[in-house]
Amino acid sequence: EFQKVQIMINKNQCVSEKHGRIQKFSLFKNLIQVGDHISVTGNATRTKAGEPTLQAIQLPELLSPSMEQIPEKLTDPKARMADRHVDMLVNREVVDVLRLRAEITKYMRDHFHSKRFLEFQTPILAENAGGAVARPFVTQATEFP
């Protein structure tokens, strides 16, 4: 199950040398953006409000920057269909529907499996040949009259 976890960074604790501490922290703060993959080393804790938090013991490391800007909201239906991965990042209900569908499918499979039913796929029968796109052709022998 996906959860949001906030990261708490204390610049006085994360950057060891006093000289350049503010510069390193500011550089990281200005460099990071939504969609970046980072690595954080720290201790798991909870805030007073009960939010799961990772208290960093060093500055996070940027592993992979986001290649495109991720919007805060995506409402245009054409854009949502064209960029489903972005739609799932910004619209939680899309992921919730997919997760529910997967749970229902799993429940049905487990139920029928417990009753000793078998699940298998049958190919769709069609009058034309499948697989490679082969067409019949006619040749003429040129060696023999």
Assign 135 a pLDDT band (cuts: 50, 70, 90). Answer: confident
Over range 40-49, report the average pLDDT: 91
**106-126 pLDDT per residue, tens:** 999 999 999 999 998 887 766
**47-103 pLDDT per residue, tens:** 899 889 999 988 888 899 888 888 888 889 999 999 998 899 889 899 999 999 999
Cα 129 to the chain's mean position, in Å?
38
**Which residue in this structure is represented by tokens 């049958």?**
122
List of E strands, the chain: 6-8, 37-39, 42-46, 52-56, 61-64
Quote the pLDDT of residue 106. 98
Over range 134-144, report the average pLDDT: 75
Task: Give pTM, 2 decimals.
Answer: 0.53
Dist. CA 12–CA 9, nearest whole Å? 9
Dist. CA 76–CA 94, nearest whole Å? 14
Cβ burial, residue 36 (10 Å; 0-12/13-18/19+): middle
Quote the pLDDT of residue 72. 84
